[in-house]
Structure 1
Amino acid sequence: MRKKAVNSLERLQAVLEVFTEDRLEWTPEELMEELGYSRPTLYRYLKILKDSGFLTSMPNTGFTLGPRVVEMDYLLRKSDNLILSGAPYLQKLTGRYECTALLVRWYGEKILCVDSISSSREAISSYPRGRPMPLSRGAIGRSIVAFLPRRNLVPLINRTLDDWQAAGAGDTVEAVLDGLKSVRKKGYAVAHGEVTPGVVGFAAPIFDAGQSPIASFSVTIAQDQVGGSAVEEIGREVLFAAGEITAALASHRHRISSR
């Protein structure tokens, strides 16, 4: 059973949070057991969420996420300046290389793809749009984590040290920090087959206000296409794209604040 939510909004939100890739459908009985809500409370929340379109159900079936989620996703694509600013660079990199280019958003302690384009014959990514990615494995996670302020980075690694150890990134917090120094020095991260076998990942951080990254620009490309000086060439292009997106976000923020 999950930790008890404090107020009505948190309790309502908790109903939505039980839906995951591993568990896409829930019956009311299962929700009551998972969340610890009384039947009247749960049914009140289910009615609110169903009436607003966040949940849906058919007779004699469980509840699944509803069409309002799709509608909000459409609005996100139309309004998110990260997606709007990054689109030209997704096009540019996939036009230049046979690869998959991704924009990956950082929120809370999660990272997930919010937009991507692929020019490869087979999409070279194990994490399509909307699917959370591992923080400790692969170039994308490191490209974000390496640039977090130390006051935020050290507690994060402490909380997730088991994951970093499993990824072979170090057995101690200091060892993980040492490994991230090279990413900070280069400005981008490179990973060989850590998430998808046979694939090289490149990623660089995108910043908004302040010094903390909010996202990452990434390219994944087949190992056999990355030879000689190509690693540094692609790394520089990814770093340049991330910098241009950062500048575009800053310009938009300035225009808004000047109104």
Structure 2
Amino acid sequence: MEKTSIDRAFEILDLLDEGSPTVSPDEISAKLDLTRSTTYRYLRVLCNAGLLVQLSRGSYSLGPRIVELERKIQISDPMTSVGNRIMPETARRVPNSVLILCGLWGDRVLCLRQENSNLSDKMPLRLMRARGLPFSLFKGAASLVILANLPPARLKSLFLRSGSEISEAGLGKSWTEFRRRMQAIKKAGFCITVGTFESGLAAISAPIFNGEGAVIGSLTRILTRSHSESDDELARDVRDAAAHFSRELQARMSGPGNIHDPLGSVSHDGELLGSLVEHL
């Protein structure tokens, strides 16, 4: 599929991260195979939109519009809103644990929110799960429980495209093995992994669904493997919490004035997208 101007604009934004906080026109031209004039045209539009800012001659970083958009999503995103309301109480049900909300984005999973339970004398769990941090769809309970609930056709497509990564993750060397593994997780309604990212910690996850029954995220409780409660009790609690989250989300999305299209929120920034389309 041929890339659009908006695709290219976001590719420029994707060049910026913790390891590369700034980027130069020459780097953009080389990495994205753009001419110098086209590169400067993109930079001009992105700077005008506030998505980039020029720090000095030949040095650009993410702009203030990113902060504004983050605030908008914090106050308007339905999943974040439901999480803010129900996660604190849910987290407190199991002391010395952390509750994590994740969302599906393409072939990656994003951490949207985390909530520490009320702690006893023990030190709190410290996790590398900051909001916005993406991680693999094939690793960890939070991802696997989402993966298992994707439509069969999408699972098959993922296997054909990422078979080696799926095999390395221990999810099956063949389509049949992979499908059976996913069916088992889906049937159970939860997924438990131990020590995937940090030794000594267990993760118990259950899926979150939208009003059409499509999986869009997961709710995960992370705790030490030596926790006093049984796996069955913990799994039931997470499964019930995720089901409650799904109902709350569906009720919010079906309320008056709400838009069911997940891309509907983009309309609030129609001026920005219109500017990109018009000028690129």
Q: Same fold (TM over 0.5)?
A: yes
Q: Which moved more, 1:75-84 or 1:148-157?
A: 148-157
Match of residue 150 from structure 1: 152
Is residue 2:26 matched to residue 1:29?
Answer: yes
Name the SS of the counterpart of 1:206 in structure 2: strand
Query: Structure 2 CA distance, aligned partners of 1:72 and 1:5?
Result: 27
Q: Deviations over 1:14-62 (max 9, x none)?
A: 2112234443321111111011112122112112212222112322563
Is residue 2:66 matched to residue 1:69?
Answer: yes
Whether the 8 Å contact between 1:124 and 1:222 is mirrored in structure 2 is no
Q: Which moved more, 1:234-243 or 1:8-17?
A: 8-17
Aligned partner (choices 55, 60, 69) of residue 58 of structure 1: 55
Query: Structure 2 CA distance, aligned partners of 1:30 and 1:11?
Result: 14
Query: Structure 2 CA distance, aligned partners of 1:171 and 1:22?
Result: 34
Query: Structure 1 CA distance, aligned partners of 2:57 and 2:72?
Result: 32
Is residue 2:96 matched to residue 1:98?
Answer: yes
Query: Structure 2 CA distance, aligned partners of 1:114 and 1:39?
Result: 37
Match of residue 253 from structure 2: 253
Percent identity, aligned pairs only, is 25
Aligned partner (choices 75, 78, 84) of residue 78 of structure 1: 75
Q: Deviations over 1:64-117 (max 9, x none)?
A: 212211111111010011111122332123323211211101021111011112
Name the SS of the counterpart of 2:256 in structure 1: helix
Query: Structure 1 CA distance, aligned partners of 2:5 and 2:186?
Result: 42
Aligned partner (choices 135, 138, 158) of residue 137 of structure 2: 135
Aligned partner (choices 199, 202, 210) of residue 200 of structure 1: 202
Name the SS of the counterpart of 1:130 in structure 2: coil
Name the SS of the counterpart of 1:12 in structure 2: helix
Whether the 8 Å contact between 1:124 and 1:220 is mirrored in structure 2 is no
* Cα 1:19–1:72 shift into 2, 3 Å: same
Q: How many residues align?
A: 254
Whether the 8 Å contact between 1:205 and 1:213 is mirrored in structure 2 is yes
Unaligned runs of 5+ in 2: 260-280
Superposed, 1:79-228 pairs within 5 Å as 79-96=76-93, 97-119=95-117, 121-225=123-227, 227=228
Query: Structure 2 CA distance, aligned partners of 1:133 and 1:70?
Result: 22
Query: Structure 1 CA distance, aligned partners of 2:160 and 2:3?
Result: 26
Name the SS of the counterpart of 1:23 in structure 2: coil
Q: CA deviation at 1:257?
A: 6.6
Query: Structure 2 CA distance, aligned partners of 1:7 and 1:167?
Result: 34
TM-score under structure 2 normalisation? 0.83
* Cα 1:151–1:178 shift into 2, 3 Å: same
TM-score under structure 1 normalisation? 0.89
**Which amino acid counterpart does residue 245 of structure 2 have in structure 1?**
I
Query: Structure 2 CA distance, aligned partners of 1:258 and 1:114?
Result: 21
* Cα 1:59–1:23 shift into 2, 3 Å: closer
Whether the 8 Å contact between 2:29 and 2:36 is mirrored in structure 1 is yes
Q: Deviations over 1:136-163 (max 9, x none)?
A: 1110111101111111111112222222
**Which amino acid counterpart does residue 219 of structure 1 have in structure 2?**
R
Is residue 2:237 matched to residue 1:237?
Answer: yes
Q: CA deviation at 1:6?
A: 3.3
**Which amino acid counterpart does residue 240 of structure 2 have in structure 1?**
F
Q: CA deviation at 1:203?
A: 0.9
Q: CA deviation at 1:233?
A: 1.2
Name the SS of the counterpart of 1:77 in structure 2: helix
**Which amino acid counterpart does residue 171 of structure 1 have in structure 2?**
K
Q: Deviations over 1:220-239 (max 9, x none)?
A: 111122x4x52111111111
Q: Which moved more, 1:208-217 or 1:72-81?
A: 208-217
Query: Structure 2 CA distance, aligned partners of 1:48 and 1:212?
Result: 36
Whether the 8 Å contact between 2:110 and 2:133 is mirrored in structure 1 is yes
Name the SS of the counterpart of 2:254 in structure 1: helix
